A and B are shown apart, each in its own frame.
Chain A
């Protein structure tokens, strides 16, 4: 299958701060790719560059959309911008205008005529289930509703590619799921290519392919399922008063792998031959009295995979930590 986007040896710096170093990435048509990494890892910068909002420092970005030359279109080319929709981290809506006016404005800016713009705005208000709030100003809508308008705005010109930059930041679980249900609905109707920058493991889990970004570099590529499956073992999440020495203590006493994941937490990998429930009891017994806040057994997720592969946590609370055992 042909790639719609090819990134080769991409490097970029904001001022003197290098944020991307030798990034290579291909995205196939109809694919949903997640760029997973903590804040500052460079994933949003990748979206900025492929949207044409800044020129690459080094390397190449080529869009292969229908009718493009052999070498592809450069980012920022009007024929590319006419075929991509972007949902930025901060909703790009005019707060003083209504949802309908924002959509109408976006449609006009995409080159649609007045009548067509009005029709598309009405269609997408229905898609966003906001017909009854359509004439209220954006600042009167909830965060989830604003996100729905923002998604509708990005889809107003029926793009072939959708770029999502932390699209669900600040949304509760219900709004999060509704947002992604809408993306799934659109993808069920057409071969929409989606590239999503996120630091949320549950968001990255929605993708066909996962690309982990750390320190401006691609450190891993794979499907979410295979990535989690590769971790294998369950995890004990321990919240305690002094995670670093206590993780070492548990590791030494029980001969298990532990990893500090936050200022008040560490995880214990449940060995393949062990019973997780039994290990809970042993960990509780090994910790000093009064040091344990909580303990829970759970399946590993992409956040754990990121910690294991990239060495740092997605929420940025911990830098790379060596395994305690």
Chain B
């Protein structure tokens, strides 16, 4: 057997300018993990697109079921249940995508891939950003798939504040992904993650204003001050109503700032948590 060329490039030179090498490595992990998620998305498009179906089904059933029996003082065309429930359904798509993508962290750990990522010459923050960008890219594709729902709900696409909707969606997904990543890191099995999802993440969606207007005070209101999904739903409701949404819990700017803050805090927290050892001893 002959060696063809296993050792042909020089090892990274320590004497080279430190910052560019470090930045290159950080970007390498970010781009590498994002590309991996894109490759997996292309391979398994049906599964990811399928994550749109359930929220859209819930949206359709809720809208149809509540039509005529529920009038929501939400300004403009938001009085239609289809309009009211649409932001919550889109938030659910972002939530589901984050949950299923970060569940992959547990599978990666079990299959050994995560260990390989951890010995890449970059920070844990780069790993988390790469993962979050992968989730976000998939979620954006899913967001595009929901555009027909806007038309079905009777929303004039020209009246939608798309930049606001996009910003709120992007930072909402990033914040929820960071949160989900933290949970995925500390639990050992996908079963445990499912349980956490059921008692923590899904309830956050339920109280976010997706199903009913946020109360002006009380326990749910307080919970939602720390619930990124609440800001996401409220911000998107503003965007869908084209600035005519009068019943919002917060202003659009408040929602955006809260989600940017939640994203920064979430990614930082995830970076800290990701420093915890992931293996529990072998030989």
Stretch from A182-190, A231-239, A282-290, A297-305 contacting the other chain? A182-190
Q: Is A37 positioned at the interface, with any CB of B under 8 Å from its CB?
A: yes
Q: Is the beta-carbon distance between B116 and A106 smaller than 8 angstroms?
A: yes
Q: Chain B 109-149 against A: per-residue CB contact (8 Å), 1 yes, 0 no?
A: 00111111111111100000000000000000000000000
- Compute how far the CA of A160 lies from the CA of B9 in the bound complex, rounded to whole angstroms: 12
Query: Nearest chain-A residue to B127 (Cβ)?
Result: A109
Residue B22 is within 8 A (CB to CB) of chain A in the complex: yes
A residues near B5, Cβ cutoff 8 Å? 123, 126-127
Q: Which residues of B contact A52 (CB under 8 A)?
A: 119
Q: A48-B282, A67-B15, A185-B6 are in contact. List 15 more A-B contacts (CB 8 A).
A: A39-B282, A44-B282, A45-B282, A81-B122, A82-B11, A82-B121, A83-B11, A89-B282, A90-B111, A90-B112, A92-B111, A92-B113, A94-B40, A97-B40, A197-B283
The answer to whether A53 and B277 touch across the interface, beta carbons within 8 angstroms, is: yes
Q: Is the CB of A88 within 8 A of B116?
A: yes
B21-38 vs A, Cβ < 8 Å mask (1 yes, 0 no): 110110111011101100
B283 touches A43 (CB 8 A): yes
Q: B residues 229-283 with Cβ under 8 Å of A? A: 277-283
Q: Does A155 belong to the interface (CB within 8 Å)?
A: yes
Q: Does B191 contact A (CB under 8 A)?
A: no
Would you call B216 an interface residue if the criterion is a C-beta within 8 Å of the partner chain's C-beta atoms?
Answer: no
Q: In the complex, are the beta carbons of B283 and A185 less than 8 A apart? A: no
The A-B contact count (CB < 8 A) is 182
Give chain A interface residues in 185-209, CB to chain B under 8 Å. Answer: 185-186, 188-190, 192, 197, 199
Q: Which listed residue, B10, B22, B29, touches A109 by the CB 8 Å rule? A: B29
User: How many residues of A sit at the interface, in one of the four size bands?
Assistant: 35 or more
Whole-angstrom distance between the Cβ of A176 and the nearest chain B Cβ: 14
A74 to B171, CA, bound (A): 35
Shortest CB-to-CB span from A158 to chain B, Å, is 5
Asked if B50 is an interface residue, CB under 8 A from chain A, the answer is no
Among residues of B, the one whose C-beta sits closest to the C-beta of A198 is: B283
> Binary interface profile of B, 41-56, with partner A (CB < 8 Å = 1, else 0)?
0011000000000000
CB of A84 within 8 Å of the partner chain: yes
| Residues of chain B having any CB pair with chain A under 8 Å | 1-12, 14-15, 21-22, 24-25, 27-29, 31-33, 35-36, 39-40, 43-44, 111-123, 277-283
Residues from chain B with a CB closer than 8 A to the CB of A37 are 283
Residues of A within 8 A of B282 (CB): 39-40, 44-45, 48, 89, 165-166
Name A37's closest neighbour in chain B (CB-CB).
Answer: B283
Instruction: Determine whether the beta carbon of B12 is less than 8 Å from that of A83.
Output: yes
At the interface, yes or no: A93 with Cβ under 8 Å from chain B? Answer: yes
Contacts of A255 in B (CB 8 A): none
- The answer to whether A92 and B116 touch (CB under 8 A), given A78-B121, A82-B12, is yes
Contact B116 A108 (CB under 8 A): no
Complex contacts, B14 vs chain A, CB 8 Å: 65-68, 79
Separation of A172 and B126 alpha carbons in the complex (Å): 38
**B126, closest chain A residue (CB):** A109
Smallest CB-CB separation from A151: which chain B residue?
B6
Write out, one digit per residue, whether chain A residues 30-53 have a CB within 8 A of any chain B CB (1) or not (0).
000000011111111100100111
| A95 within 8 Å of B (CB atoms) | yes
Q: Can you sample 10 A-B contacts with CB below 8 Å?
A: A42-B281, A42-B283, A78-B123, A81-B121, A92-B114, A97-B40, A110-B25, A126-B5, A159-B11, A190-B7
B24 A84 Cβ-Cβ under 8 A: no
Pick from A54, A110, A189, A190: contact of B277, CB under 8 Å: A54
Within the assembled complex, what's the spacing in Å between the Cα atoms of A269 and B32?
56
A189-B6 contact given A84-B119, A92-B113, A95-B111, CB 8 Å threshold: yes
